[in-house]
Amino acid sequence: MTNVEQENLQVLNSKNYGSREVKNTILDVEKFPTINPNNIKTNITNTNSINPQSNNVCISLNVVKEKCQLNDFSKEEQTMLEDVIERLYYADTLKVGSVIITNSKILSKLALINKNNLIQLLDII
């Protein structure tokens, strides 16, 4: 075995718990890839893929409720619609079929809801 080969090997002694002869175990040293500092990009301008919530539509729950004009509905409809809006507003995700919708997408769609949308929804139900 050459000196270079010996430098790349690690020798481990096995413990002798009995009267048997002790043998040495030789393992290859794991070689990890090195990082080339020239490949590190410091001028990143598009961070949407890194932080997808940076484009969140910020809308308050009260604004959504005001746009829906919930007071124009019957008490029973108002309670049901308010409950649905609140559940959607606070949901982390919403699963529709095999698609999972994130909170930021839910909020962006809630911002588009108005009284006419809710009337159409109630007609379907």
> Do 65 and 114 lie in a common domain?
yes
Q: Can you spell out the DSSP letters for 40-95?
A: --------TTT-GGGG-----HHHHHHHHTGGGS-HHHHHHHHHHHHHHHH-SEEE
Give strand pairing partners of 13.
24
Residue scoring higher pLDDT (32 or 117): 117
> Do 69 and 118 lie in a common domain?
yes
- 8 pLDDT exceeds 60? no
Provide the number of structural domains found in the chain: 2
Q: Which domain holds residue 11?
A: 3-31
Q: Let me know if residue 41 belongs to a domain.
A: no
Q: Let me know if residue 66 belongs to a domain.
A: yes
Q: Let me know if residue 119 belongs to a domain.
A: yes
Q: Let me know if residue 75 belongs to a domain.
A: yes
- Mean pLDDT across the stretch 53-80? 84
- Mean pLDDT across the stretch 67-84? 94
* Residue 69 near residue 115 (C-beta atoms within 8 A): yes
> Do 26 and 62 lie in a common domain?
no
pTM: 0.52
Q: Let me know if residue 85 belongs to a domain.
A: yes
> Do 114 and 69 lie in a common domain?
yes
Q: Let me know if residue 43 belongs to a domain.
A: no
Q: Let me know if residue 20 belongs to a domain.
A: yes
> Do 22 and 69 lie in a common domain?
no
- 13 pLDDT exceeds 70? no
